Structure 1
Amino acid sequence: MSLKIVVCIKQVPVSNNLKIDPITKNLIRSGEQGIMNPYDKNAIEAALRLKDEWGGEIILLSMGPQDFEITLREGLAMGCDGAVLLSSRQFGGADTLATGYVLSQAIKKIGNVDLVLFGRQSVDADTSQVGPIVSEFLNWPQVTFVSELHSHSGKTITATRLLENMQQKIEFQLPAVITVRREMNEPRYPTPRNIQQSYKKDIQVWDENNLSVDPDRIGVKGSPTIVRSVWAPEKEAKSTKYLNGSADEAIRELLIELNANNLL
């Protein structure tokens, strides 16, 4: 059985010198150089391996300004078949709940999707929330922190979840949403031919008029969490103490210092 897979990806900023909108307190992403969220490459690689084994179609899905297309092209160059960019001023300022809602509505519009993959988290926000939120809106099973996909039989997949102090093997039914850990695979590099072919593939751009969305549940209006303030951490100079004498003397002095600072 072939699979229709959607991989949700995000473009994250390259620079740490980001501008904050003084009114919304959100990052100003438009015009900023960005790269694909590294964890999302593992999700794409997982989808490509499933396609290599069982066949099917992989569609990339992202939400952001028009310049996010360059990141979608990178995913297409890795071997994905098509892409959808959700781009509208009405989507701007969305928190994880509003983002998950819009993504879920787009997945419904794509239709007949068997599996939705996310990277474990994005490196700019680190919430790990959007994948689970999408699964709730779709009312599909979710499996997070997946490090291995073992088998596929009809509508059933077995996966391993890598947790902090344990591994969990779990069997789940499709359709489903999974989030992928970096340990799962090594993402492939786009070949020159695939890079060339990626510019022949279509990127559809949808806004709120293309989706069945409630206008009160998108963008800032649909975001119950609010950033009240943003500040840069203060830089504090640290002193360096050098340990003199022989190795044994230096070790004794180190142990005294650690004990004095309640580190032992």
Structure 2
Amino acid sequence: MDRLTEIANRLAEVTGIVGVCLGGSRARGVHRPDSDYDLGLYYRPPLDTPALRLLATELTGGPVEVTEPGGWGPWVDGGGWLTVDGLHVDWIYRDMDRVHRVWEQCRAGQFEIGAQPGHPLGVYSHSYAGEVALGRVLADLGSELRTLQERTRRYPEPLREALIDNARWEAPFILACARKGAARGDAFYVAGCLFRAVGLLVHALHAHARCWVVNEKGAVQAAGKLPSAPADFAGRAHTLFSALGTAPETLAAALDDADRLVAETGSELVG
């Protein structure tokens, strides 16, 4: 941690950087020995990317690709993958003003889902607020990041209601749409609908428990541990995908199981 703090302090000297926050599994204490160290670089334009490249070269001992903002897509934004002292350290840009805007949308019960490479369910905009809430602030010019963190640790009730309401109507709807694909043996379409339906349930269960979701990885298992999750939620959700097959009968059977899981989850998402 001392080495990370040192790196964070060096990053905070770069023009444009507002604060640095350790995120991901390392921040939440659920990491594996081989887990990366994800450093969120919260910035305001213009960001001095040449200075970041010089620092990355110094830390790694060789040239490193560090992108301009937007280099990794509309939501992950950009950054760099570094190996420092044998450890994988990722720099991930976050536009501070955009994070503030997303937080205000969360408070108003609004969210959007953006397409992003590496995120098959899409990036739910409120993940920006969740990253701040769950992260460990390492450097913070002006205490702006810590102030926002204190606010985001209280899950907004309007967002909670919006995510639950969205799952209540869309999960049954998309499974009904999948029935047409199942009758034609269209496993690709059915699998996509199932994935979407389970994703909706995962976000609704987390919202019901006032817990943030930051990405799809491990989200089903985490949802299964929440108080309002149906019995064996994670096991049943994963079984939907492992037993699909391509025959209309097996696809329809998977959708029957999914309908039951949606119904049971919906009955728990009250209050």
- What is the TM-score normalised by the length of structure 1? 0.27
Q: Which has the higher contact order (CA 8 A, sep 6+)?
A: 1
Question: Larger radius of gyration, structure 1 or 2?
Answer: 1
